[in-house]
Amino acid sequence: MADHPAVHPVDEKLPAVKMATTGLQHVAAMYAGVVAPPLIVGAAIGLTATELTFLTGACLFTAGLATFLQTLGIWKIGARLPFVNGVTFAGVAPMTAIVASTDDKSDALPVIFGAVIVAGLLGFLAAPFFSKAVRFFPPVVTGTVITLIGVSLLPVAFGWAQGAAPSADDYGSPTNLGLAAGTLVIVLLLRRFTRGFVKQIAVLLGLVAGTLVAIPFGATDFSPVADADVIGFPTPFHFGAPQFQLAAILSMCVVMVVSMTESTADMLALGEIVERPADERTIAAGLRADTLGSAVSPVFNGFMCSAFAQNIGLVAMTRIRSRYVVATGGAFLVLMGLCPMAASLIAVVPRPVLGGAGVVLFGSVAASGIQTLVRAGLDRDNNVLIVAVSLAVGIIPITAPEFYHAFPETAKIVLDSGISTGCVAAVLLNLVFNHLGRGGRDAHEVTHPMEAGEEITGATRAPATP
């Protein structure tokens, strides 16, 4: 009797208990990342605690739907790899810029949703063509973009650490900063002295511990949980019908390119980890899932979706490669989105506690980008210039927020996003230095200013011996 072909680990269905526990582990690894964008954008708009809870639940729900689409797939949609999808960090800065440029804050979310829908649909159409352009997005570009995502969001963590609002009397107080520092220390201790599942959920445990520590200081408010319903549903277009403004659409289209770039890099990396290399067809299918999930997400009041890099690290560490495990995690996300009380738990966490955990969370994103840059070949002078200039362009809105003050408001929606401008700069510089003219040949010439034997003090190096 002929042997049945072995099932690839990616397509393996584990026992129910293991499927559930490992699926929860993926949720724990990305939960804080999913709820951070709605917290940032909701705070910028000035949403009430109830509205913020609704927005958070909606993002959890749509993250689950996008994860289903990516892991299980339909037709030519979905990479069918153990990918967790959720709200992309890349869209936070442009979305807050849209909020700042909107006079009536009640229109901010409809404008954002309209822009995300258009960007998602255009991205869906562009997916097969984008997958052919992978060579224009090497590690030097993707690494720069991922680094900028983390660096751009670190100021958000620092703001959280100071308190809920700059107008509050205790904003920046020693108590708030102490709570943030204490949470950071707890997370670091958990990461250092624990292992396995506890180590993987160190950020989540840090949030819980920091919240408990904050209770005696009167910094914890449980009213969002008391006011939340046990069962609910993210009503379509709860915040109003989508509005379509050209400047916002252009801004989110740039974010979509950033998101597709990051997802492509993630698919290439995950394909190697699970020993099922991502080819052009897989990348195109994965990008269709990302973009379609993004287009559908605003219908249920969610934001643009993308792959979560931290979950790729979880797959690499646990060696559990089943896509059905991640799909189970997606089911938990949907259930959490349908239970406002569960979603409201994050609203209980004091802002300084979120700030302490955010330092680890956002810093880890930047570190992931640096790891990618290390693999990019920074011993090549062309790549050093690409990274140097792109990072400088991307950091402008962070270090000099008024740099583009003389530009029109519509232009500032894009320019005030360091991620968007840095990505555009990296792609263009990579084309100029590594693809056009002699760039492709010169890119392999090592012309690093610190050659072997040169003293750091700047002393003149002796001529090389022939």
Structure tokens at 2: 């002929």
Secondary structure (DSSP) of 85-121: EEE-GGGHHHHHHHHHH-SSGGGHHHHHHHHHHHHHH
The predicted pLDDT at position 202 comes to 76
The predicted pLDDT at position 69 comes to 92
- pLDDT for residue 459 is more than 50: no
Task: Give the separation between CA 346 and CA 247, rounded to whole angstroms.
Answer: 32
What single-letter DSSP state applies at residue 369? H
CA 154, 157, 158 angle in degrees (round to 5)? 90
The predicted pLDDT at position 396 comes to 92
Cβ neighbourhood burial of 284 (10 Å; 0-12, 13-18, 19+): buried
Radius of gyration of the chain (CA): 22
For residues 354 and 160, the answer to whether their CB atoms sit within 8 Å is yes
For residues 82 and 272, the answer to whether their CB atoms sit within 8 Å is no
Task: Give the separation between CA 412 and CA 414, rounded to whole angstroms.
Answer: 5
Task: Give the separation between CA 206 and CA 211, rounded to whole angstroms.
Answer: 8
458 pLDDT band (50/70/90 cuts)? Answer: very low
- pLDDT for residue 463 is more than 80: no
For residues 289 and 73, the answer to whether their CB atoms sit within 8 Å is yes
The predicted pLDDT at position 347 comes to 65
Per the listing, tokens 């997916």 go with 127
For residues 258 and 290, the answer to whether their CB atoms sit within 8 Å is no
What single-letter DSSP state applies at residue 81? S
For residues 379 and 448, the answer to whether their CB atoms sit within 8 Å is yes
Q: What is the mean pLDDT of residues 60-75?
A: 91
For residues 100 and 122, the answer to whether their CB atoms sit within 8 Å is no
- pLDDT for residue 286 is more than 70: yes
Higher pLDDT residue, 378 or 71? 71
Least confident of 33-37, 126-130, 326-330: 33-37
Least confident of 99-108, 313-322, 451-460: 451-460
Task: Give the separation between CA 204 and CA 285, rounded to whole angstroms.
Answer: 32
Per the listing, tokens 């003090």 go with 457
- How many other CB atoms sit within 10 Å of the CB of residue 55? 26
- pLDDT for residue 209 is more than 80: yes
In three state form, how does the secondary structure of 334-367 look?
HHHHCCHHHHHHHHHCCHHHHHHHHHHHHHHHHH
Least confident of 227-231, 328-332, 352-356: 227-231
Q: What is the pLDDT of residues 403-421, one digit of tens each?
A: 888 887 667 767 777 777 8
308 pLDDT band (50/70/90 cuts)? Answer: confident
For residues 304 and 258, the answer to whether their CB atoms sit within 8 Å is no
The predicted pLDDT at position 11 comes to 84
The predicted pLDDT at position 317 comes to 63
The predicted pLDDT at position 318 comes to 66
The predicted pLDDT at position 136 comes to 72
Cβ neighbourhood burial of 275 (10 Å; 0-12, 13-18, 19+): exposed
E strands, 16-162, are 85-87
